[in-house]
């Protein structure tokens, strides 16, 4: 870890609502401010629950939990922001935590992150964007008159993010008697999208932003995630998960060694020319039915279409597909499954739903929570995709490539994106980076993207996880040392693998051992260069 700046201690008596003034925030009407002292708190935070970091063991930490509520003028909303303030070990910095799914923050994952952050001496901040503890938008997306609740959507998309930055800095400054020296944002998925939104729309909110596996191009990738379900309904094909998993496993087996290492990971998706149709007729043991089945031509075609990505009815490109080693069915670490089917013992299967996408289509685009998506035509699919972009791209698309103001203010941003991400196609992040680079060829000076082979959505899988992402960002911001690579270590594999992640568009290349398929444990960080 980067060494902390210690000495930021305050009296426990400072943790009082009478001692902490309300912040000044445009268009905000503050409702309440509560301050509660939490003494000698301990909790072990395992790897994966402190986004962009490694594991942290929080021991006997005392902090002040400040919770504010406020509403926006003209909005029928109530937003809560939490600011946790270490009593004895403040390191002079603030770290804001991003959300997940349809939650802006203030959820269980965020709480784990805030706990780890105060353990490391950060003032920690999170907002619920007025959504409370709602996990899905079913209870807030539509108003009684059937219109979309644009106020809450805008709070989730952007407004609450800058609010949290202003509030967090103000409360921190009041509590310690001096402003934080550095401010950071850390998030993945929705939290990654939020980080990109801050760089685009509120470029002076944070000095450093860790925005991993970002849910940018919101409308496009959600339509892309619905594409597999649409295909199943259109083809009337609902394969068991065993069949889909067998196709994925065959793709990995075929393309695994192309980088010289046999580690169960496809390092270069472009170099993997595996065709799922080559498996038609292959006999597999299907655990769904407890018997052997043959891989069907329909299942192989379905998977090939999912890999190719969503297309309009005229065959033109709509959005990127998932990588060939991304799990499409069966259990996954985060239960994000774009080809969800459930099967009965008699050998018949039906499809489930990818709820994040279907909620967006039903509630926000069609404005009908009971809409039947199983019967839509390809032309209707096109219309829904176009309507989503027209209505919401300016609100939550988060794909504006102009980061000139963020750059001018000295901001730094790092993203990693798992190449086996089963929910957000990694090529979407590359597409955005290319767009930023087209406007500013010096993008590498302030924003770096690190593709992570074999890594699932944010965490997990056969690939290596860069638990030093945030530390690399902090070193870049505070010492001016840009990360030329990120060291990453696998969490779910035996043996553990160590890999060097390279900043896009460079790729990790094995040196000194070329031409031989080495085992996963036979190579280490230093066996790679970025070219």
Give pLDDT tens digits for 4-26.
Answer: 334 467 898 999 999 999 999 99
Reported pTM: 0.96
Task: Give the largest CA-CA distance in the chain.
Answer: 73
Interval 123-147: pLDDT, tens: 999 999 999 999 999 999 999 999 9
Q: Is residue 232 part of a domain?
A: yes
Interval 210-233: pLDDT, tens: 999 999 999 999 999 999 999 999
Q: Does 91 lie in the same domain as 179?
A: yes
Average pLDDT over the chain, rounded to whole? 94
Q: Is residue 515 part of a domain?
A: no
Question: Active-site residue 421, yes or no?
Answer: yes
Contacts of 61 by beta carbon, 8 Å cutoff, 6+ apart = 40, 41, 42, 86, 88, 89, 118, 119
Instruction: Report which of 72, 163, 168, 151 is spatially closest to residue 117, judged by C-alpha positions.
Output: 168
Interval 28-59: pLDDT, tens: 999 999 999 999 999 999 999 999 999 999 99
- Please give the pLDDT value at position 45: 97
Domain edge (last residue) among 367, 394, 421: 394
* Residue 131 contacts residue 104 (beta carbons within 8 Å): yes
Copy the structure tokens of residue 4: 């902390």
- β-bridge pairing 528-530 and 123-127: unpaired
Q: How confident is the model at residue 520 (pLDDT cuts 50, 70, 90)?
A: confident
Q: Is residue 131 part of a domain?
A: yes
Q: How many independent structural domains does the chain possess? A: 2
Among 421, 467, 471, 527, the active-site one is 421
Among 457, 462, 467, 471, the active-site one is 457
Could you give the 3-state DSSP secondary structure of residue 469? helix
Question: Active-site residue 457, yes or no?
Answer: yes
Tell me the residue range of the domain where 445 lies: 12-216+396-489+501-506
Q: Residue 247: is it exposed, middle or buried by C-beta count within 10 angstroms (0-12/13-18/19+)?
A: buried
Q: Does 71 lie in the same domain as 209?
A: yes
Task: Using the predicted structure, report yes or no on whether residue 1 has a pLDDT greater than 60.
Answer: no
Q: Does 239 lie in the same domain as 349?
A: yes
Q: Does 185 lie in the same domain as 37?
A: yes
Task: Using the predicted structure, report yes or no on whether residue 493 has a pLDDT greater than 50.
Answer: yes
Q: How confident is the model at residue 345 (pLDDT cuts 50, 70, 90)?
A: confident
Cα(123)–Cα(62) distance, integer angstroms: 12
Q: How confident is the model at residue 338 (pLDDT cuts 50, 70, 90)?
A: very high
Which residue's entry shows tokens 């999170």?
126
- Please give the pLDDT value at position 107: 81
- Order of strands across the sheet with 464-465? 464-465, 486-490, 498-501
Q: Does 130 lie in the same domain as 196?
A: yes
Average pLDDT over every residue of 434-457: 98
Tell me, what CATH number does 419's domain have?
A: 3.40.50.1820
Q: Does 311 lie in the same domain as 290?
A: yes
- β-bridge pairing 341-343 and 349-351: antiparallel
Q: Does 298 lie in the same domain as 151?
A: no
Among 189, 212, 323, 420, the active-site one is 189
Task: Using the predicted structure, report yes or no on whether residue 362 has a pLDDT greater than 70.
Answer: yes
Q: How confident is the model at residue 152 (pLDDT cuts 50, 70, 90)?
A: very high
- Please give the pLDDT value at position 109: 85
Q: Is residue 1 part of a domain?
A: no
Q: Is residue 354 part of a domain?
A: yes
């Amino acid at each position: 870890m980067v060494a902390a700046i210690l000495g930021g201690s305050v009296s426990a008596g400072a943790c009082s609502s009478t001692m902490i003034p309300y912040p000044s925030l445009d268009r905000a009407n503050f409702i309440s401010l509560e301050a509660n002292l939490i003494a000698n708190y301990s909790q072990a935070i395992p790897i994966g629950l402190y986004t962009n970091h490694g594991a942290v063991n929080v021991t006997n930490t005392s902090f002040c939990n400040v919770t504010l509520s406020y509403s926006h003028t003209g909005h029928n909303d109530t937003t809560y922001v939490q600011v946790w303030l270490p009593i004895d070990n403040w390191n002079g910095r603030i770290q804001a935590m991003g959300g997940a799914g349809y939650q802006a923050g203030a959820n269980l994952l965020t709480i784990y992150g805030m706990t780890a952050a105060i353990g490391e001496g950060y003032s920690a901040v999170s907002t619920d964007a007025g959504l409370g503890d709602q996990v899905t938008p079913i209870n807030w997306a539509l108003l009684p008159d059937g219109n979309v609740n644009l106020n809450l959507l805008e709070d989730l998309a952007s407004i609450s993010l800058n609010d949290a930055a202003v509030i967090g800095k103000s409360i921190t400054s009041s509590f310690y008697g001096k402003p934080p020296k550095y401010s950071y944002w850390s998030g993945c998925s929705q939290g990654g999208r939020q980080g990109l939104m801050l760089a685009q729309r509120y470029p002076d909110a944070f000095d450093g932003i860790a925005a991993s596996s970002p849910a940018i191009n919101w409308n496009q990738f959600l339509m892309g995630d619905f594409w597999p379900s649409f295909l199943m309904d259109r083809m009337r094909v609902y394969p068991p998960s065993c069949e889909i998993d067998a196709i994925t496993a065959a793709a990995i087996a075929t393309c695994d060694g192309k980088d010289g290492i046999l580690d169960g990971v496809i390092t270069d998706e472009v170099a993997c020319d595996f065709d799922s149709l080559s498996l038609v007729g292959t006999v597999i043991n299907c655990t769904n039915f407890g018997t052997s089945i043959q891989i069907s031509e329909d299942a192989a075609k379905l998977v090939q279409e999912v890999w190719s990505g969503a297309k309009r009815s005229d065959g033109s490109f709509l959005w990127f597909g998932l990588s060939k080693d991304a799990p499409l069915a069966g259990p996954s670490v985060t239960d994000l499954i774009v080809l969800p089917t459930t099967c009965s013992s008699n050998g018949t299967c039906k499809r489930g739903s990818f709820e994040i996408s279907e909620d967006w289509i039903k509630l926000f685009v069609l404005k009908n929570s009971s809409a039947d998506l199983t019967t839509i035509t390809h032309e209707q699919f096109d219309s829904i995709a176009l309507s989503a972009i027209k209505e919401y791209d300016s609100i939550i698309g988060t794909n504006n490539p102009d980061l000139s103001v963020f750059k001018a203010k000295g901001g730094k941003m790092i993203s990693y994106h798992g190449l086996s991400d089963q929910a957000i196609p990694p090529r979407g992040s590359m597409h955005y980076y290319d767009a930023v680079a087209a406007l500013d060829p010096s993008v590498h000076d302030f924003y770096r993207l690190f593709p992570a082979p074999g890594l699932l959505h944010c965490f997990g899988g056969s690939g290596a996880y860069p638990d030093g992402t945030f530390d690399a960002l902090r070193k870049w911001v505070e010492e001016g040392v840009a990360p030329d690579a990120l060291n990453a270590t696998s969490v779910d594999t035996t043996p553990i693998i160590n890999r060097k992640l390279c900043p896009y568009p460079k790729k990790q290349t094995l040196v000194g051992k070329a031409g031989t398929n080495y085992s996963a444990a036979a190579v280490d960080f230093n066996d790679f260069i970025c070219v």
